[in-house]
Structure 1
Amino acid sequence: MSFDFEYMLSLMPILFKYLSTTMELACWGMVFSVILSVILANIRIFKIPVLNQLCQLYISFFRGTPLLVQLFLLYYGLPQIFPVLIGLNAFSATILGLTLHFAAYMAETIRAAIISVDRSQMEASLSVGMTTGQAMRRIILPQASRIALPSLMNYFIDMIKSTSLAFTLGVAEIMAKAQMEASSTFKFFESFLAVALIYWGLVVILTHIQTWAETKLNKAYSR
């Protein structure tokens, strides 16, 4: 069978209708991942008893097991043990899975970024009457965010691509729609090439945004 370029072009508008679901999954996952990873990083830095050990166990598990397995555990496995989770829908389970998975990676990135900020910054903050929490929020974390930005953007790009696993739970996102179209027309190459081009286009756009953000944040340090 020859390549059907016209079919691929006609499929693009259909796939774009489901792009919002993909981006919603990724954006919510990113927001919650950043919040959770900052909490985990601070627990690791200040070595809070018990919580520090639990964080290490959490990070080890979610970094050491595949995301697909984690999604299946959350959506199919946990409701068998905790009946209260039976009402968890596939969309929420996907966001929860993305959050827990990527927060384990981001926590180590943010921890390294915070540690890289000179200790004199914290000492100076404490000397003018700030509490440790205020110093972290106002002085340390803003500087650490500049250092962590490239890695966090890479994780966001990876998260967007990882939303393609949501179709295994029945979420109708861009990959799921491409799969359905391919199954109904048997034009698998055209369907999956179309979705691959859309993912690629998103990554190119985000790469340009990352470059702009890095230039903006590094302007004060380039003098």
Structure 2
Amino acid sequence: VLLCRSIPNMVLLYLVYYGLPILFLALEDQTGVHVPFEKVPATFVAVVGLTLHTGAYLSEIFRAALQSVPKGQMEAAQAIGMTWFQAFRRIVLPQATVFALPLFTNQFLNTMKSTSIVFVITVIELFGAAKLYTEENSQYFEAYIVVAGLFWVMGIVFEFIFHRLEIYASKYKRGNVL
């Protein structure tokens, strides 16, 4: 977690992109098992790199959310006869979800925007397609305005979805638990 949080996304992508083949070659030297790393698509490498970075932040978000629920909540639930799993699912998890959702939303949107850097490892995505388009047509401003607009629309849509989830998850605060 500490390593993946402290390395910038682009550096982590490069490390995964160039490090996986070295790791697979070392594995082949040690075990004799050949992993066809040359057939691994760059999209898979991009997913792994972004997942490592995002996963580090999400683990901290969920840890903080679970720690935000007072221990007395779990003790009270167990005192009335709930098992640990029942208490966690019915008492702790709903409260932690309300705390985690805004932070999760922020991390989700940051990861969505971070996908624009995967072009550096040959993955063609929204920003990469605009860059290729501008190389042929020299319409930089127009292409990047379209990309910005698409990211803006996606951001608004996902913020709306997550806001609705927050309202639903905080139903226990309004007394509508059942």
Question: What does residue 41 of structure 1 align with?
Answer: none
Cα separation, 2, equivalents of 1:198 and 1:182: 17
Of all paired residues, the percent bearing the same amino acid is: 37
Shift of 1:143: 2.2
Question: How many angstroms apart in 2 are the aligned matches of 1:122 and 1:85?
Answer: 49
User: Match of 2:98?
Assistant: 146
**Could you tell me which residue of structure 1 aligns to residue 83 of structure 2?**
130
Q: How many residues in Structure 1 have an aligned counterpart in Structure 2?
A: 164
The residue number in structure 2 matching 1:98 is 50
3-state SS in 2 of match to 1:82 = helix
State the distance in 1 between where 2:23 and 2:122 align: 21
1:53-108, Cα deviation, whole Å (9 max, x unpaired)? xxxxxx21111111111111111123113233724321111111111101111111
Q: CA deviation at 1:170?
A: 1.4
Partner of 1:81: 23
**CA pair 94-85 structure 1, distance change in 2 beyond 3 A:** farther
Partner secondary structure for residue 172 of structure 1: coil
Equivalent-residue separation in structure 2 for 1:144 and 1:153 (angstroms): 14
Whole-angstrom distance in 1 between the partners of 2:74 and 2:161: 31
Instruction: State the alpha-carbon separation in 1 of the partners of residues 89 and 160 from structure 2.
Output: 28
Distance 1:85 1:105 in 2: 31
Q: Which runs of no fewer than 5 residues in structure 2 stay unpaired? A: 26-34
Query: Does residue 157 of structure 2 align to residue 205 of structure 1?
Result: yes
TM-score (norm 2): 0.83
Alpha-carbon shift at residue 137 of structure 1 (Å): 4.2
Which contiguous aligned blocks of 4+ residues in structure 1 show a shift greater than 4 angstroms? none
Q: 1:156 aligns with which of 105, 108, 124?
A: 108
Larger radius of gyration: 2
Are the counterparts in 1 of residues 73 and 92 from structure 2 also a CA contact under 8 Å?
yes
For residue 4 of structure 2, the aligned residue among 55, 62, 68 is 62
Instruction: Report SS of the residue matched to 1:171.
Output: coil
Q: Displacement, 1:134?
A: 5.2
Distance 1:129 1:214 in 2: 26
Query: In 2, distance between residues paired with 1:138 and 1:217?
Result: 12
How far did residue 197 of structure 1 move? 0.8
Alignment of 1:1-223 (within 5 A): 59-83=1-25, 84=35, 86=37, 87-127=39-79, 128=81, 130-131=83-84, 135-223=87-175
Q: Does the aligned pair in 1 maintain the 2:94–2:169 contact within 8 Å?
A: no
Q: RMSD between aligned alpha carbons?
A: 1.9
Shift in Å at residue 136 of structure 1?
A: 3.3
How far apart, CA to CA, are the structure 2 residues paired with 1:173 and 1:162? 11
